[in-house]
Structure formats: C-alpha cells, structure tokens
Amino acid sequence: MSFRSWVTVGTLILLGLVVYFGWPEITQAWRLLDSVNGWILALIIPVQLLSYYAVGNIIFLYLRNKGDIRDLSHWSMARMALELNFVNHILPSGGAAGFSYLGWVLNRHGVSAGRAAMAQIVRFALMFLSFIGLLFFSVLFLILDNNVNRVTILLCVVMALLVIGATVFVVYVIGSAKRIQKFSTKLSHIIDWLVSVVTFGKKKHVINHEKVEKFFNELHFDYIEIRNDKNILKKPLIWAIVANVADVLLLMIAFWSLGFWVSPATLLIAFGVSGLSGIISVTPGGTGVYEAIMIAFLASAGVPPDIAIAGTLLARVALLSGTIIFGYIFYQLTIMKYGKSGKSTA
C-alpha cells in the first residue's frame, strides 16, 4: 500500500474514533442545522462563482500574456475552472486528474501541452505563495489576539515549509535544461517500469520519450521567459489572493448562517491544513479526510466541537453540491463537444 493510502486509512480510523467519542457533539451539531439562515447561506453562490472566476483568471491571464486563448470569454474561464474543480472532486487523484483534463481542453484551443502545464504550475505556485502571505498575517493576528497555541504554530510552519520546498524543487528542475532533461528521462523510465510491473511485463514501453522531453523543454523555456519578465505574474498574483480570500469567505458564510462567528485567521489556517491533507488522500476530493482534519483543527483552536462539525459539514455539502451539479453539466457539454476522452495530450 502506498504512503497516501496509509495516510488515508489512518485518517479514516481517526475519523471513526472522533465520531465514536464525539457522538454527543455530532447530535448537537445536527440540531444546529435546523437554525440555518437560508438567506445568508445563499451568499455562498456568488462567492463560489467569484472563487472560480479568480482561479480562471490566474490561468488565463498568464496564457493571454503569452499570446494564447484570446478568443475565450471571461465566462468560459470561470466555467473551465468549475470543470477543473469537478474533475478533482470525483476522481481520487490529488489534483492530477484536473491537471490532465484542463491540459486536454486547452489543447483544443491551440495551447501546447507544455504551455498548459506551465499555466497550471503558475496557478498552483501563486495560490500557495499568496496563501503563505495570508498565513503569516493570520498567525500574527492570532498572536496579538492571544488566541494561538503551539499546535497551530507548528502546523503553520509545516505548511510553509512544504509549500516553499515544493516551489523550490520545481524551480530547481525546470530552471536548467540539463536538469530537466535528466528529470524527464528518469520520469519516463519510472513510468515505463511501473506500467511493466502493473501489467506483469505485457507492456514495457508506453511513454514517448521524445514527446516527454519536448513537453519539459517547453516548461523550461516558459520559465526562462517568466524569470526575464516577472511582471507577467503581477495580475495573476492579485487574483490568487482574491481566490484564497474567497475560499475562506465561503467557510465564514457557512458559520454565519448558523449564527456563529469564527475568526477568518482561524478559518484560513484550517482551510490550508485540510487542503494539504486532501492532496495526499486517495478519496475523491479528499472527502472524509478533509472534513475530519478541519473539524479537529477548529476544535483544537477553541471552536466548540458541535459548531465546528455543523459549520464544516454545512460548508462542504453546500460547496460540493454546487460543484458537482453544475460541474457535471458543463463537463458533459465539453466532452460532447471535444470528444469522449478526457486525457491530456501530454
């Protein structure tokens, strides 16, 4: 069993223990759901649209600065971001499915595989780095408010190190033509080896090494252009901040609708911790794992357990419902328009 599988199993066991020992709080949380203010909860819809629009702008502003997809409207950008989120939530891939799917769709608009991948790397990098900036101010606010414990600080440090470490690794690899060539070759051999093991030697070569090398070379050239013209990332960075703020505001609205106030700083940290756990989870969209981690963190940060459970579940149900219902419709329309295969040309 893989590391991700062990993490997911362990987390689900902890979730079972939380449910067992916290059953009184869960029943109280269920009763709290009867007091939901529908008008306040309805604010989730425009804020969720803003979130998708912001994520779309991060990707498409970068692509337009590179001379691509000038024919796409702002509505199309938000729609693609919604489809991306939908694919990530229905497939247990830690974000890889959405990455591949969006690359496939962008290819239909004349964007090369390497350029599409770089646009998404830019999106992830800016989202994570802007989150680190917001995280710094959140921790500072909690310290000044005397409402922070050692666990919170430790989790924030771990998140910051993971994000910065991943960013440095990616920059290190794509920053050198020699390193990226070695990396692409090694990656191709690893994938061929894994496929050979899974198929018991029936398929030994499934990767086109030349295409993989071309793909990574495109990443390298795009990175060099970004390094020479950093202004290209200014507007996408602003939208990354907007996207992170919108995501936290969605959680705040859920708690508001229940009649409770939870500090935005606390929710931002909980959102980050839960999001990272969802990446390494094998369940679709991190379902089960995401909720367990968020509830546990909010409770450790001083939020009453019943409120933490009710607010978290309400937010997740509302957000996932909108993502799955509308995302499925748009996803099917895209599949019908461009073909039956959702695989990336990479």
State which residues form the domain around 155: 3-338
Condensed to tens digits (0 to 9), the pLDDT of residues 300-315 reads 777 887 788 888 888 8
Model pLDDT, residue 7? 46
10 Å CB burial of residue 248 (0-12, 13-18, 19+) is buried
Mean pLDDT of the chain: 75
Condensed to tens digits (0 to 9), the pLDDT of residues 121-168 reads 888 888 888 888 888 888 888 777 766 667 777 777 777 787 788 778
Condensed to tens digits (0 to 9), the pLDDT of residues 32-55 reads 666 778 788 888 889 988 888 888
Identify whether 178 is part of a domain. Answer: yes
Give the residue from 284, 282, 304, 286 showing the smallest Cα distance to 295. 304
Identify whether 302 is part of a domain. Answer: yes
Identify whether 344 is part of a domain. Answer: no
Condensed to tens digits (0 to 9), the pLDDT of residues 78-109 reads 777 888 777 776 665 555 666 777 777 787 77
Per the structure, the count of domains in the chain is 1
Q: Does the structure show a pLDDT above 60 at 14?
A: no
Give mean pLDDT, residues 338-342: 54
Identify whether 343 is part of a domain. Answer: no
Task: Tell me the pLDDT band of 346, cut-offs 50, 70 and 90.
Answer: very low
Identify whether 253 is part of a domain. Answer: yes
Q: Measured between alpha carbons, how far is residue 38 from residues 7, 41, 60 in Å?
A: 36, 5, 34
Task: Tell me the pLDDT band of 240, cut-offs 50, 70 and 90.
Answer: very high
Identify whether 241 is part of a domain. Answer: yes
44, two tokens: 């989730």
Identify whether 222 is part of a domain. Answer: yes
Give the residue from 236, 278, 319 showing the smallest Cα distance to 58. 236
What DSSP character marks residue 35?
G
Identify whether 345 is part of a domain. Answer: no
